[in-house]
Amino acid sequence: MSIQSEPRERPLRADAERNRTKILAAAAQVFAEKGLEATLDEVAAAAGVGVGTIYRRFPDKEALIGALFDNAVDEIANLASAASARDNSWEALVWFLEEALQRQCANRGLREVVVESTYAADRIEAAKCRITPAIGVLVERAQRDGYLRADVVSADFPIMEMMISFLGNITAAVAPDLWRRYLTILLDGLMTSRDGTSPLYEIPGDTLMSEALRSAHRHAHRG
């Protein structure tokens, strides 16, 4: 009885994984810039593949966005873990917030997934289970060391991040770092004591601020 050789699957699997990685990277960029209304054709063009290749890796747009959401959760969880390894507990908390918000403010699509859509509704609770305890560790350390006011709870931080990331998303085109000003104001309010106030990110010119406010108004009345 002859023994048939096994099909050579490894190169195919490697190619499939490379395509998947390429598609996810392109989708992250496209959705970050254009939001969830971006099409799979736009993602395919950015990835340099045919749209059929996307459908072979992801059955539909929802599956692709879900995978991006999972990647974002992994990244935030890894940031919280890296922050917890820092010696100074206040600097660790501040570093985590700055790094997490920098990503959220630059990623319009991520915010839309979390706040405005049902694409990842089944993933939200799982994400909370991963990220909330990690943030809790940072909060407890900073409170234990006397840096962070004792009446703040971990649940306050997602709310603060949501407020600042909303601002960051709608002003990204005209003042991409404006969110840092308001994070600094919040952080000063969270500290138990300080020698003085922290320097703020400078307000851009009147023209840019007017455009930022118009962007916020348009977003609030969209649809």
pLDDT per residue as tens digits for the range 23-33: 999 998 898 88
Q: What is the pLDDT of residue 114?
A: 63
What is the mean pLDDT of the segment spanning 203-214? Answer: 72
Lowest mean pLDDT among 12-21, 78-87, 173-182: 12-21
pLDDT tens figures, 32-49: 888 888 999 999 999 999
Residue 22 has pLDDT above 90, yes or no: yes
What pLDDT shows up at residue 4? 45
C-alpha to C-alpha distance for 151 and 129, rounded to whole angstroms? 22
9-59: which CATH number, 3.30.70.260, 3.20.20.70, 1.10.3720.10, 1.10.10.60?
1.10.10.60
Please report how the helices 10-34 and 61-84 are oriented relative to each other, as an axis angle in degrees rounded to 10.
80
Superfamily of domain 60-220: Tetracycline Repressor, domain 2 (1.10.357.10)
> Confidence class of residue 81 from pLDDT cuts 50, 70 and 90?
very high
Orientation angle between helical segments 10-34 and 40-47, nearest 10 degrees? 120
Considering the chain, tell me which residue range(s) the CATH 1.10.10.60 domain(s) occupy. 9-59
For the chain, give every residue range classified as CATH 1.10.357.10: 60-220
